[in-house]
Amino acid sequence: MTSQSTEWSTSHSLFFKALANPARMSIISLLHTSQRSVTEISDELGFEQTMVSHHLRCLSFCGFVKSKRKGKNMIYALNKETIVPILKIVEKHLEKYASNLYSCDALER
């Protein structure tokens, strides 16, 4: 394995790791509809505010969401450029393989 291919697999797996968390995906799903403040996200998902902040920090830093301040609030919005086309492909894959993903023991749960 060359060091270049190591870099390739590292960066690509990091991309997927950022999305490989149910809480982060819930947030993305919510923001897909419309932008929201941290408190709104916490309340609507029933997650602790601090947990939501942690995940938003990751999603924001990695380019999946963008944020702007509005008074006391931070408003987070989805960066649709990447997420929307990806989700289309994922959904097509899930049509066939969702049940297998659920029972793949390498991905346990």
Partner DNA sequence: TATACACATGACAAAAACGTCATATGACAT
Partner DNA sequence: ATGTCATATGACGTTTTTGTCATGTGTATA
Both tokens of 107, joined, read 């991905």
Query: Residue 22 and residue 28: Cα distance in Å, rounded?
Result: 10
Tell me if 34 contacts its own copies by CB under 8 A: no
Site for its own copies in 55-94 (CB under 8 A): 55, 57-58, 61-63, 81-82, 85-87, 89-90, 92-94
Q: For the chain, how big is the Rg over CA atoms in Å?
A: 16
Residue length of the chain: 109
Measured from the Cβ of residue 64, the count of other Cβ atoms closer than 10 Å reads: 23
Please state the closest distance from residue 84 (CB atom) to DNA, in A. 22
Q: What is the rounded (10 degree) CA torsion for 101, 15, 59, 92?
A: -40
Site for DNA in 76-105 (CB under 7 A): none
Query: Residue 13 and residue 20: Cα distance in Å, rounded?
Result: 10
Tell me if 36 contacts its own copies by CB under 8 A: no
The residue (of 16 and 72) whose beta carbon lies closer to its own copies is 16
Among the listed ranges 1-9, 27-35, 72-80, 92-100, the one in contact with DNA (CB under 7 A) is 72-80
Chain residues binding its own copies by CB under 8 A are 1, 5-6, 8-26, 29, 44-46, 54-55, 57-58, 61-63, 81-82, 85-87, 89-90, 92-94, 96-98, 100-102, 104, 106-107, 109
